[in-house]
Structures are given as structure tokens and as C-alpha cells.
């Protein structure tokens, strides 16, 4: 990723990262139990999903059940409860995050689950 490699001191990481996301042809989304607690990760996901038709996306579900992501259950539900009660976060932004997560969860991915989910 040459855009990120050429990041100079004082550059805005977010702006450069989003520019790199726009330019990439492959995206890897690594979803874990705490993924939805990060507004930074959720904003990146929205950016990735905005260009989903123009790239290949690989999903990795690490220690989280894909249906929890798709239906916003478990730790994802808890994270969104916190986002929704945080008055600093625009409710429209929360809806956009939810929509992006649900869309991402519809993409077939790789499941790396712990013993809790193994039958």
C-alpha cells in the first residue's frame, strides 16, 4: 500500500487511510468480538463497503459467530447499545454502521472460532 507507506509525520492518518481504502482492489475485514466497539473500525468498514462492487473482500470472523455480526447479537448488540446512548455519536452514523456490518456479514468468509462454537 504505497499511500500508507508514504505517510509523513504530521499527515492525517484517517485521510490517508481512507484514500488507500478507495484505491485498493482487495480488502480484508477481520471481525472479532470487540470490533463493533471501535468507531474507527466501523468508519473504515463503511468506507470499504461503499466500494464493495469494485473490489474483492475477504471476511475473517475471529472468535465470533457470523450470525452475531449479521443480526447484531452478543458483543455486537452490547457495542451498539453503548453507541446509541453516547450523545456524541450521531444516530444516523450508528444506523450507517449497522447497515455496513450487516452487509459485510452477508459476504462469505473464513470462520476462526474458539471451542465455544465448535460442535
pLDDT digits (tens, 9 = 90+) for 35-65: 999 999 999 999 999 977 778 999 999 999 8
Domain 12-112 sits in CATH 3.40.50.10140:
yes
- State the catalytic residue, choosing from 22, 44, 84, 106: 44
Question: Which pLDDT score is estimated for 92?
Answer: 96
pLDDT over 70 percentage in the chain? 85
| 89 exposure class (CB count in 10 Å sphere: 0-12, 13-18, 19+) | middle
Does residue 44 have an active-site annotation? yes
Backbone angles phi, psi at 33, to 5 degrees: -60, -35
Q: How far apart are CA 51 and CA 79, in angstroms?
A: 25
Q: Global pTM?
A: 0.80
In the chain, what are the domain boundaries?
A: 12-112
Amino acid at each position: 500500500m504505497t499511500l500508507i507507506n508514504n505517510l509523513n509525520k504530521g499527515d492525517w492518518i484517517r485521510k490517508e487511510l481512507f484514500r488507500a481504502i478507495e484505491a485498493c482492489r482487495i480488502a480484508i475485514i477481520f471481525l472479532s468480538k470487540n470490533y463493533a466497539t471501535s468507531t474507527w473500525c466501523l468508519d473504515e468498514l463503511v468506507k470499504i463497503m461503499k466500494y464493495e462492487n469494485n473490489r474483492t473482500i475477504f471476511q475473517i470472523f475471529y472468535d465470533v459467530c457470523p450470525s452475531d455480526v449479521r443480526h447484531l447479537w452478543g458483543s455486537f448488540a452490547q457495542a451498539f447499545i453503548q453507541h446509541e446512548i453516547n450523545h456524541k455519536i450521531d444516530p444516523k452514523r450508528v444506523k450507517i454502521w449497522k447497515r455496513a456490518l450487516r452487509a459485510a456479514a452477508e459476504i462469505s468468509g473464513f470462520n476462526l472460532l474458539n471451542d465455544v462454537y465448535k460442535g
